[in-house]
């Protein structure tokens, strides 16, 4: 019976490359001359720090642009609050791995409401979809890709015929 998994993962190597490229771009930008500003990556958290709040917002846009160049979906980034401590402003951008239970339940409900003849089950941090026809599975993939209410990047893995 054909099946596939719906997952949500960020390629950590490409994330590291995007952070490195963002740091290089900071070195060449005129508006960041003589400014203490940097990006740092710790697991799936990117720390953006600068001397002013507007610079942190500009740096977040630089990071988003470099993520797009490296093929990492920027919707996986969840920016936290900007924190002011001493002379610096900083912000953490968390990159989520896996699908949370409420979103997984929302995916299963969306699939069931579509009346496509497939079964969806939550398995840890992924959703397994099985059906009798390959066309039904591809219809589910199109449904998930085009869904407006699921504002998160999804990949389709482990497609079996």
Q: Is the pLDDT of residue 161 over 80?
A: no
- As a CATH number, domain 3-8+98-160 is 3.30.70.860
Does the fold of domain 12-95 match that of domain 3-8+98-160?
yes
Helices (H), the chain: 12-28, 53-70, 101-113, 134-145
Output the pLDDT for position 155. 87
Phi-psi category of residue 140: left, alpha or beta, with phi > 0 → left and psi -120 to 50 → alpha? alpha
- As a CATH number, domain 12-95 is 3.30.70.990
- pLDDT one-digit tens code per residue, 20-51: 999 999 989 898 888 899 999 998 899 999 99
Residue spans of the domains in the chain: they are: 3-8+98-160, 12-95
What global pTM score does this model have? 0.81
- pLDDT one-digit tens code per residue, 65-120: 999 999 888 888 889 999 998 899 999 999 988 888 888 898 899 888 888 898 98
Q: What mean pLDDT, rounded, does the chain reach?
A: 89
């Amino acid at each position: 019976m054909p099946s596939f998994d719906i997952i949500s993962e960020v390629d950590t190597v490409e994330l590291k490359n995007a952070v490195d490229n963002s740091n290089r771009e900071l070195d060449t930008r005129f508006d960041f001359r003589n400014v203490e500003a940097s990006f740092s990556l710790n697991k799936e958290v990117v720390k953006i720090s600068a001397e002013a709040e507007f610079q942190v917002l500009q740096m977040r846009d630089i990071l988003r642009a470099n993520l797009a160049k490296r093929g990492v979906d920027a919707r996986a980034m969840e920016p936290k609050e900007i924190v002011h401590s001493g002379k610096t402003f900083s912000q953490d951008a968390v990159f989520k791995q896996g699908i949370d239970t409420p979103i997984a339940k929302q995916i299963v409900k969306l699939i069931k409401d579509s009346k496509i003849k497939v079964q969806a089950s939550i398995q840890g941090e992924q959703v397994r979809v099985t059906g009798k026809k390959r066309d039904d599975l591809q219809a589910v993939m199109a449904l998930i890709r085009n869904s407006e209410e699921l504002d998160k990047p999804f990949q389709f893995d482990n497609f079996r015929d």
